[in-house]
Structure 1
Amino acid sequence: MTTALDAFVGPWRYHLDHNGDSKFRDTRKTQFPDYYHQRSPADLGADADTLVTTSHIHSFQLGTGASIYTQSILPAILQARREIILVTCFWAQSDTLAALSNTIAQLAQERERLISSQPGAAIEPLRIRICFSSRSLFQKLFHPNSKDGFVYPPHTWPSQLGLPAAEALRAGAIDLQVKTLFFLPFSVMHPKFVIIDRQRAWLPSCNVSWEPWFEGCVDISGSAVSSLMRFYQSVWERDLPSLPADRNTSPISPELAPSWLTAIQSPASRFAPLSMESAPTVLLPSSHHQNPCFRPFPWMDDPKPPLTPLNVAISCLLELAQHAIYLQTPNLTSASVIDGILQALGRGVHVTIVAGKNMMLLEQIVTAGTTTSRCLKSLIRRYHNLKASSVMQPRRDDASATNLDMDLEAGRPRLGQLRIAYFRRGVDDQAKGVSEEPVQSHLKLTIVDDEYTVLGSGNMDRASWFTSQELGILFRSVQFANVVSGIVNDVLKTRTMTIYESSRPRDD
């Protein structure tokens, strides 16, 4: 496992271990959780080595948040025997929330029925832990500034959260707790994942919210889930109890899902079943760090990004890229990412970027002081400057020495090609007027050299790199990279608008 990841893990660990590295700002003493120094046995997130692991990849899925939840995540929840952990960032009234609430209510009813039909039987309580960060402006303004967060009283579940009443859940032996974490001024806990019985996990890009956005989700099991559980415990439930032994007495029935759960469809839905065992995997948290290091004046230098596993991983992948980089992100306002892209282009690496157009503009301005469109225009301008300053010139037919000849002798690569596109609503006839046709792309995807794939919650914007807690997951697998790129390209055939594409070099 480590051998397969050595090319990445070596540079990644070097940057994490050398806090004097000029590319990153050492924020390890203030991060939540801290993945660096073992202070005590209870310091669950201490060792970055615990992030390097393997996984069994079961599937990769595309669609909207509602379609992914109703087609995959909610049916999985119905199979839980002992525990359901659901972590998301935004929580809002939506088709997704209605379907989730109905699923929990049906689960409670089925469990109550079986408890009544088996008097004296040992039915273990089903633990459900729902964790989120943002519900409303009022909630965030008055949220306690504590790592203990805020636990919603049971009487508020139906009225404030749209969840079933506590009495119905108790009748079905369901132990529910709902908790929020948020740190002013705008440090949200941005990860999204679902863990069932501490054995299988789904990592979607979507929230429990109403937006019909283009999303993705990977379904895994294996030792990577244990690493994910450590992350969950260190952030959300530090006193996490052990689960009782599975007595196989769970009342969950596979027939529940098809009988009443309506799967929401989207024209952008794609499902790729997989059976990839022992795929080299690295869990990549970007720990919470409150200091945003704003630079209010344009002539001030860009600050160093915080030293987090996810930030370092993306930087390392941009440096390691030899052939091609594919980036799909809602927003692109991180100066470190843009610098890494330009350096890769200078080495001859081809770069494709798919971003959102005018997506969350207010959030971009508040957290970054700029917008994706301005940053992309700057990237194109700097790319042109790179081309102009390059000593590489078209080959001449005469025998005289040219700059290109000198570059060939020096082994200098050609400048990489750059393509930038915006995501747009589907333009085919079937997509018109469809409620679950994605209107924006919320997928966070990086593929490097058709080998390394990073998914998760982290965007390529300043908010994700400086103020939000994030969670990414990296797989090193040519097969998985090909599957992901294949179905993503299929969906995007009619859903992108190219705004820039550099000319291809001539054949000599």
Structure 2
Amino acid sequence: MSTESSSTRQLVDRDLEAATSIPSRFSSTFVNHVSHNQRAQSTPLELTTGTGYHIYTSLIIPQILSATQEVIIVTCFWAASATRDALHNALLELSAKAVAAQTKISVHICFSTYSLARNMLLPTSKKGQNYKPSKWRKLGLPRSSRIPGLVLRVTRKFDWPFGIMHSKYVVIDRKLAILPSCNVSWERWLEAAVRIQGPAVAHLLKFHAWFWENGASLKPLPLDEGSGGASTLNGRTSALESSVQTTILPSPHTPSLLPPHLRPSTLLHQLPCLPSRPPSHPPTPLLTTTSHLLSTAQHSIFLTTPNVTAPSVLALLRNALSPPRKLDVTIWTNTSLMTLEQLKLGKLTIHYFDDPSPTRPGPGTRNARSVEAASHGKSSTLLDRNKETTPIRLHAKITIVDGDKLLLGSCNMDAASWGTSQELGILMESRELVDLLLERELREKLVP
């Protein structure tokens, strides 16, 4: 299936929009349906949080160096940074390993942007832009002569004007996948990542081939005895080595010349003379499942997100906070976006990760009229000492519903992620995994 002849909707079940019965409680059958039967038992091997640099150097790069045949790196932003420098060095080391083994290792780097100006002036074709070896140095990559053990491809895709490819993942030897929230960039933000093996990896590769290989099947790899580093654990990460129900949830790019809030149909229904209509979003597997999780939650919702501005999300949260549901809703976000202050009802707790206030509030209330502001200030000495590993803003995208359903990935709770950009998420159904994340990974990093 070629990219030109296919549309975003081809990854979305055609009868989804015609469905007349949406479950009032969480339904695994519904999730399996909207994801095209992507729900299966897979094994999370590591779960970690930290800055993007920390996640790359402690989790992703060690797995890259364990590869014996193939590495796929997909990110939204590819920018000059300590993280990119670390990847540069990792490619040199991986090449030396391949040369010593008298083999070749395939590496495919895929990204959407490395500068706003390039996005606006030089969008790519539907098939993407493939960089010649002569251009690699400008991208912070080694010269081809320095990596003789690698078969490197570098591809960029951006669809003007609102066509960012926001998905982020790494696949090692088609056996192991890592889904981080971080870009390859200088941003010192708190991120989250999961390392997983099992059927979820094959489901992810199916999506990867559809988009980055333009519908072509991935070439078979020779038989391999390696495990892709599946048994390697880092001391600062949390492990869960039992299988859980997982679902890979893509949200394909929705072509648009205007952002959702400026589309004529949206503006028209804001006129007082016309009836308003509820917010909508593209019926992609990820967005439909996220909406399902928020609308069927029975007890609690926990979110971390850089921002909360998507009308659909605000409507879902308002419904969760209102009678008769009146759920406990906890949101960690950043101070720059105050849309959440509109939710003046229910059992809502809002924490601001980047609040520089030197004092902490006393015991808070769950009413939004007395929003808690969590001090997360850092001394300048500490920031200088741990420049690349001390997060100063929140970028992790975590949704936890009823303490037993965990959604991680690239999707923010903003209008771009819920309107036009390509996103990717993974749903894991496991109370043990949720407890592991909250108690071991986030307790010290998200201190109210």
* Fold match by TM threshold 0.5: yes
1:305 partner letter:
H
- The within-5 A match list for 1:190-269 is 190-237=166-213, 238-246=215-223, 248=225
Name the CA distance, whole Å, in 2 between partners of 1:490 and 1:482. Answer: 10
Q: How many residue pairs get matched? A: 389
Aligned to 1:348: 326
- Report the CA distance between 1:315 and its aligned residue: 1.0
Equivalent pair of 2:279/2:315 in contact (CA under 8 Å):
no
Residue 65 of structure 2 is matched in structure 1 by: 78
Residues 1:109 and 2:96 aligned together: yes
Shift of 1:51: 2.0
The 8 Å contact of residues 15 and 312 in structure 1, kept in 2 or not, is answered as no
Map 1:284-295 to 2 at 5 A: 284-291=249-256, 292-295=259-262
Deviation at 1:457, TM superposition (A): 0.1
- Name 1:99's counterpart in structure 2: 86
Q: Aligned pair in 2 of structure 1 residues 488, 461: CA closer, same or farther (>3 Å)?
A: farther
Q: Give 2:342's match in structure 1, choosing from 375, 378, 388.
A: 378
Displacement of 1:241 = 3.5
Is 1:132 equivalent to 2:111 in the alignment? Answer: yes
* Structure-2 change in CA distance of 1:432 and 1:167 (3 Å): closer
- Partner of 1:191, secondary structure, is coil
CA contact (8 A) 1:143 1:150 kept: no
CA shift for structure 1 position 376:
1.3
Listed as ranges, the gaps of 5+ residues in structure 2 are 1-10, 23-32, 357-375
Gap runs ≥5 in structure 1 = 1-12, 25-45, 116-122, 258-262, 264-268, 359-371, 384-415, 497-508
Determine the structure 1 residue equivalent to 2:432: 479
Structure 1 residue 17: Cα displacement: 2.9
Does the residue aligned with 2:444 lie in a helix, a strand or coil?
helix
Answering whether residue 143 of structure 2 is matched by residue 165 of structure 1, we say yes
Q: Match of 1:421?
A: 351
SS at match of 2:202: helix
Deviations 1:205-263 (A, max 9, x none): 0011111110011000000100000010000013244333235599x999xx9xxxxx9
Distance 1:353 1:130 in 2: 34
Conserved 8 A contact 2:16-2:34: no
Q: Does the 8 Å CA contact 2:46/2:240 hold for their aligned counterparts? A: yes
Q: Flag the 1:79–1:452 CA change in 2: closer, same or farther, 3 A.
A: same
In the alignment, is the contact (CA less than 8 A) between 2:35 and 2:248 conserved in 1? Answer: no
Q: Which amino acid aligns with 1:287?
A: P
Percent of residue pairs bearing the same amino acid type: 37
Aligned counterparts of 1:110 and 1:273: Cα–Cα separation in 2:
28
- Counterpart in 2 of 1:175? 151
Of 299, 302, 316 in structure 1, the residue corresponding to residue 270 of structure 2 is 299
Q: CA RMSD in A?
A: 3.0
Change (3 A) 1:15 1:87: closer
- Which structure has the bigger radius of gyration? 1
Tell me the CA shift for residue 55 of structure 1: 1.1
SS in 2 for 1:420: strand
Alignment of 1:275-290 (within 5 A): 275-277=241-243, 279-290=244-255
Q: Deviations over 1:30-65 (max 9, x none)?
A: xxxxxxxxxxxxxxxx98323222210101001100
Q: What residue number does 1:412 align with?
A: none
| Maintained 8 Å contact 2:131/2:154 | yes
Counterpart in the other structure of 2:15: 17
With over 3 angstroms needed to count, the CA separation of the structure-2 counterparts of 1:353 and 1:23, relative to structure 1, is farther
How far apart in 2 are the matches of 1:428 and 1:188?
32
Distance in 1 between residues matched to 2:330 and 2:218, nearest whole Å? 45
TM-score by length of 2: 0.80
1:146 to 91, 100, 125: 125
